[in-house]
Amino acid sequence: MGNENHFKVMGARIFSELNDLKRTPEAAARDLGIEFDELDDVIKGNASMERVYGVIGKMGQVYPIDSSDLMVPEDDTTNGVRIMRAEEAEKTKRIFERDDRTGGKTPYYDYRDSAMSRLAPLKPEWIRELRVVGDNNPNNPDVAYNNGHFMHQITFFKGPVNFYWEDKNGERHCAEMNTGDSNYITPFHRHSFTSRSQDKEALILAVTFGGEARRAQKELYALGERVVEDVPDYRDQHKAIGQLLDWHMNNGKVSVKNLRVRLGEGGREIDLEGVLSGQAPLTPHDRNSLARVLGIEPSDLMIPQYNPDEEVVVRQRGEGYSYPGGTERHYEIRELARTSKMPMMKGFDIRPLRPSVDLLNGFQSSLHGWGYNYGDADIGLAWEIGGEEYGKTLKPGDSFYMQPYIQHGFSDIDGQGNAEIVTIGVSGALNLATQRELAYFTDPKRAVRETRQWFD
């Protein structure tokens, strides 16, 4: 997106907000104390960014809106892709020390950045483990656990790395990981990594990313702890469903007595008090009845069965499969750690098998994509966007970010069979819930860029 196009996008976003505020440009100009022609130039994308920021600032002062929501990030990719070379990553190197068994602080991690974009929800890091241990004891005094973090994490391992984590009950665990292994870590679970070798390279590729809670972070900070009181107890399914029912009843201003009247004779058998207290299960039939009278979907009264094994998922490198399959073998693919609670997190260990890219047998995804050449051979990256094809060579240690909805593929340039790349995709704000809501719209294209006033 060039500057000129970005100005037009910003103008369309401002125009959309004025529609939401039920202000014509003429009315808004009066509210903001500026000339109509100045606002019109901004809306049409004919103004400087300084003038655009000026209008946004005034809108934030005059109207009860979060003016930062009007800021559309400028595209920092080149044709939808951003590449970070290994040499660039090395310049971001920073060493962090942690406590050791003596109580002193010694080097623990070597952190380096990887390819990122301001549009993407993921923050991938290359991390070398500097603390070497001789066992897999999770209580080894040389292991320094962190305090957990707000982001979800999927990790790819290269070399002899020990992975440690602390479960919800405070019990500590250790898994010996090797190249191709992977994990998923739920936010705020304490964890750590060390090396098992003085001689071999031991590192992780840690991709942290935000989900819906990350996108709601401003509201979480603004409203404070009372929000937490309304969070369902995911680890107690009956209790959580009762909390969901109570939540919908409160939002709908419906009491237990009101609900019984609405349910009528058919709902007399529902133990509402038991469901609300988490003491009684909710049958599918009762769920449908409650959803109908509350004006919600049955799925709004459902929560997945708690699986303690999905708090932290450890996946050893397994058998791969050929893609696209049959006699067409362009890639060998191994899936990385998965969790059903984050269905839009997908990681792959990929071996390109051909010396050139066939885009027709390549990949496309709705996810923000990241990749890292962790092998010893050069890899070809090819992609198509806007009807044009592009290509770059990824040398060992290079990484890339790719926007969603781009057809792409990889190649083993020298044809020696030792090309290896890890890719990870995560959903941005355009997730399944957003796609479902857009499907309800009569004209989804106007959601991408507003062009019409709400009345003629």
Average pLDDT over residues 152-164: 99
Residue 432 lies in a domain: no
Q: How wide is the angle at C-alpha 415 spanned by C-alphas 205 and 401, nearest 5°? A: 35
Residue 12 lies in a domain: yes
For residue 395, name the pLDDT band (cuts at 50, 70, 90).
very high
For residues 69 and 93, state if they share a domain: no
Residue 230 lies in a domain: no
Percent of the chain with pLDDT over 70: 99
Q: What is the CATH number of the domain that holds 9?
A: 1.10.260.40
pLDDT tens digits, 54-87 = 999 999 999 999 999 999 999 999 999 999 999 9
Report how far residue 324's alpha carbon sits from residue 330's, in angstroms, rounded to the nearest whole number. 7
pLDDT tens digits, 410-445 = 999 999 999 999 999 999 998 888 898 899 999 999
Residue 220 lies in a domain: no
Average pLDDT over residues 289-313: 95
Percent of the chain with pLDDT over 90: 91
For residues 27 and 49, state if they share a domain: yes
The distance between the two most distant Cα atoms of the chain, rounded to a whole number of Å, is 75
Q: What is the CATH number of the domain that holds 242?
A: 1.10.260
pLDDT tens digits, 120-146 = 999 999 999 999 999 999 999 999 999
Q: Which residues pair with 127 in a beta bridge?
A: 111, 204
Phi and psi at 41, nearest 5°, equal: -60, -40
Q: Which tokens is 107 given?
A: 């080097």
Residue 324, preceding peptide bond in cis (omega within 30° of 0): yes
Radius of gyration, alpha carbons of the chain: 26
For residues 97 and 177, state if they share a domain: yes
Q: How many residues does the chain have?
A: 456
The answer, yes or no, to whether residue 268 has pLDDT greater than 90, is no
pLDDT tens digits, 168-220 = 999 999 999 999 999 999 999 999 999 999 999 999 999 999 999 999 999 99
Whole-number average pLDDT of the chain? 96
3-state secondary structure of 3: helix
* 225, amino acid identity: E
Residue 218 lies in a domain: no
* pLDDT, position 222: 92
Using CA atoms, how far residue 320 sits from 84, 326, 336, 350, in Å, is 28, 14, 11, 9
Report how far residue 173's alpha carbon sits from residue 165's, in angstroms, rounded to the nearest whole number. 5
* pLDDT, position 228: 87
Residue 126 lies in a domain: yes
Element (H, E) at 239: helix 237-251
* pLDDT, position 1: 41
* pLDDT, position 265: 75
For the chain, the domain total comes to 4
**pTM, 2 dp:** 0.92
**Which domain does 326 fall in, by range?**
312-426
For residue 368, name the pLDDT band (cuts at 50, 70, 90).
very high
The answer, yes or no, to whether residue 27 has pLDDT greater than 50, is yes
For residues 324 and 402, state if they share a domain: yes
The answer, yes or no, to whether residue 2 has pLDDT greater than 50, is no
DSSP letter assigned to residue 443: -
